[in-house]
């Protein structure tokens, strides 16, 4: 078996793309999207018709409504290619507004359900701010499952688990980027700081019995992926999926619930004050969270400009 086939024995593989052809090629169970991936996809000739149709179907309506229709259109197409779930992201500009995030999550789920898709097949992606986590807590109680994104720290992970979030997406590659920029060193393998962060979160969840799924995300190389074999899920870009498919060397399971049980990690009782202080103490997490929100906002604005030009 190639490495991709081997990895699927230990971990649920998710495609991190808005490209339907890539999803079809690598047969993942789930797929994730974000504003940057959607923006990238609609600039391709083969997907521009989805943007044009969304604009046409929402004639006379707001640009916000057009974007929602576009997100759902991509989600529906992706769901035709996979057996599992699609993640659809809320507007990053709502990251510090609990009520607006809840309203947007409800709206997106209602649109999927109107199209005949059950809410069990959709994850609403929300930034892992304190306000976003509170929104997820409300949505989860309504049976709307959430994927907590832009997650860089154990404090964020604990708060998400205590809120009952379905899934978290810790960003391995962006953590690696920060340490590489600060130290000038490239750290590979088990010592990679992004890998270590996800291992710690996974261990904490399994040791203390949290049901929230851990999905490593934002990978820079296959080494990071293979070091997390055994994690609940891993969302991987098409280029790295191809590298795994092209390699036949043997991989081994690196994470397991059994190993986590013997960890010496201590339980943390999270509240808003502890969350904000611990996040503030973690320069990497603070900077990358803010940077990630800004980047997604920028790409959403670019998408709005494309839509405005077509209206």
- The set of catalytic residues is 125
264-272 long-range Cβ contacts below 8 angstroms, 24+ apart: 265/200, 265/203, 265/204, 265/207, 267/208, 268/154, 268/155, 268/158, 270/155, 270/158, 270/159, 270/162, 272/130
| Exposed e or buried b per residue across 27-62, where buried means at least 16 C-beta atoms within 10 angstroms of its C-beta | ebebbbbbbbbbbebbeeeebeebbeebbeebeeee
Neighbours of 234 (CB within 10 A): 28
Cβ atoms of 54 and 38 closer than 8 Å = no
Distinct helix (H) and strand (E) counts, the chain: 15, 8
Closest by CA to 122, choosing from 143, 101, 137, 152, is 143
Beta-carbon contacts of 97 under 8 Å, excluding residues fewer than 6 positions away, are 131
Length of the chain: 311
- 286 sits in which H/E element: helix 283-310
Residue whose tokens read 């590659």: 173
Closest by CA to 150, choosing from 166, 173, 134, is 173
Tokens of 144: 């709307």
Neighbours of 77 (CB within 10 A): 16
Rounded Cα–Cα distance for residues 75 and 88 (Å): 7
The answer for 121, left when phi > 0, alpha when psi is -120 to 50, beta otherwise, is: alpha
């Amino acid at each position: 078996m190639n490495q991709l086939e081997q990895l699927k024995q230990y971990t649920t593989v998710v495609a991190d793309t808005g490209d339907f052809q890539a999803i079809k090629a690598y047969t993942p169970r789930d797929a994730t999207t974000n504003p940057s991936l959607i923006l990238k996809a609609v600039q391709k000739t083969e997907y521009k018709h989805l943007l044009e149709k969304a604009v046409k179907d929402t004639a006379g309506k707001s640009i916000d409504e057009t974007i929602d229709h576009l997100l759902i259109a991509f989600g529906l197409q992706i769901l035709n290619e996979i057996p599992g779930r699609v993640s659809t992201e809320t507007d990053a500009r709502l990251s510090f507004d609990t009520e607006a995030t809840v309203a947007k999550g409800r709206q997106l789920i209602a649109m999927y359900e109107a199209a005949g898709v059950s809410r069990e097949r959709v994850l609403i992606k929300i930034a892992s701010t304190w306000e976003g986590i509170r929104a997820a807590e409300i949505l989860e109680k309504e049976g709307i499952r959430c994927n907590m994104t832009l997650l860089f720290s154990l404090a964020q992970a604990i708060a998400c688990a205590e809120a009952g979030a379905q899934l978290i997406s810790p960003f391995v590659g962006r953590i690696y980027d920060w340490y590489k920029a600060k130290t000038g060193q490239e750290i590979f393998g088990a010592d990679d700081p992004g890998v270590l962060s996800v291992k710690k979160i996974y261990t904490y969840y399994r040791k203390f019995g949290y049901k929230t799924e851990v999905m490593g995300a934002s990978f820079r190389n296959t080494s990071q992926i293979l070091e997390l074999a055994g994690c609940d899920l891993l969302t991987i870009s098409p280029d790295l999926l191809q590298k795994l498919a092209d390699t036949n060397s043997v991989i081994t399971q690196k994470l397991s619930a059994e190993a986590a049980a013997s960890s010496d990690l201590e339980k943390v009782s999270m509240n808003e004050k502890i969350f904000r202080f611990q996040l503030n103490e973690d320069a990497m997490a603070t900077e990358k969270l803010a940077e990630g929100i800004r980047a997604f906002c920028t790409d959403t604005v670019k998408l709005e400009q494309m839509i405005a030009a077509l209206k």
